[in-house]
Amino acid sequence: MVAKKKETAIRRRRGKSEDTNIVRALLVVDAINAFASQEYGGELCVPEGELVGPVIGHLQEVGRELGIYDLQVAVNDRHPKDMFNFAHMHPHKVPFVDRVQDRDGEWATVYPAHAIVDTWGAEFLPGVKVDLFDRVFAKGTARDKDSYSAFGNPQLLSWLRKKGVTHIDVVGLVHRICKGLTAIEAAQHGFRVRDITDATKDLPIDSFQWVLNEMKYLGIESVTSHQVIG
């Protein structure tokens, strides 16, 4: 009886439960240089964006050591230089405010050029433990179609299903855009989702406020990395 209580306590600390069918993945979204602060040289100028790298890296290391995460996966923007919604393609549009239509007639926000494939902006932030990822996927690779959610790459969902993942912890950038939309879509696909609040930074863009509201509506749990790894 004592041994079983001890085992249960260890599993709780590791983010597990007595249900051995749980398979938990750490999903890292856009933890790349493009989303760092202006002072750091980030192309999208996310305040303190570079600070999430060490937080994510520590979560990766301890999460692997304690067996909290069965899998670790990253999904990053890998944009072509002539992306349809880049600001230099629309000199009369205001970045972060104006929108343009993609190939399907859907509206997408205009952004400064960022995360261009094979550039510094597309590289992982310092502190992220790249060697601990089981897979790294790209998104936003088409010139005429943007992809905010990590699930914009359909290979991600197929891979998670194949691996039997049931629970996902989401971290990365930006909180109310790519990371938040990823958390929402993960929940819609039936995964149990946690939003790790100190492993992200935000851009206060009013048009994406609905993402924060939807995360709450779907019951996505907000936790800190300290709550996860103890």
pLDDT digits (tens, 9 = 90+) for 21-76: 899 999 999 999 999 999 999 999 999 999 999 999 999 999 999 999 999 999 99
> Which residue from 191, 157, 156, 197 is spatially nearest to 173, judged by alpha carbons?
197
What is residue 116's DSSP assignment?
B
Query: What is the arrangement of strands in the sheet containing 221-223, beginning at the earlier edge strand?
Result: 135-139, 71-77, 24-29, 167-172, 192-200, 221-223
| 10 located within any domain | no
Amino acid at the residue 134: D
Q: What is the pLDDT of residue 2?
A: 34
Q: What is the pLDDT of residue 16?
A: 52
pLDDT at 14 over 60: no
pLDDT at 159 over 90: yes
| 9 located within any domain | no
pLDDT at 143 over 60: yes
| 8 located within any domain | no
| 13 located within any domain | no
Strands 221-223 and 135-139: unpaired
pLDDT at 15 over 60: no
Mean pLDDT of the chain: 92
CB 104 within 8 A of CB 67: no
Q: What is the pLDDT of residue 18?
A: 53
CB 53 within 8 A of CB 61: no
Cα–Cα distance for residue pair 166/92, rounded to 1 Å: 45
pLDDT at 123 over 60: yes
Range 145-162 average pLDDT: 97
Percent of the chain clearing pLDDT 70 (strictly above): 92
Q: What is the pLDDT of residue 19?
A: 62
Strands 192-200 and 71-77: unpaired
| 5 located within any domain | no
Domain count for the chain: 1
Q: Is the full-model pTM beyond 0.75?
A: yes
What CATH number should be reported for the domain holding residue 197? 3.40.50.850
User: Whole domain around residue 191: which residue ranges?
Assistant: 20-229
| 108 located within any domain | yes
Which H or E run contains 60?
Answer: helix 52-65
- Taking the CA atoms of residue 120, residue 122, residue 128 and residue 131 in that order, the dihedral angle to the nearest 10 degrees is -100
Cα–Cα distance for residue pair 31/60, rounded to 1 Å: 13
| 15 located within any domain | no
Q: What is the pLDDT of residue 172?
A: 98
CB 38 within 8 A of CB 45: yes
Name the residue with higher pLDDT: 6 or 192: 192
| 11 located within any domain | no
pLDDT at 9 over 70: no
User: DSSP assignment of 2-41, as one string?
Assistant: HHHHHHHHHHHHTT--S-TT--EEEEEE--BGGGS-TTTT
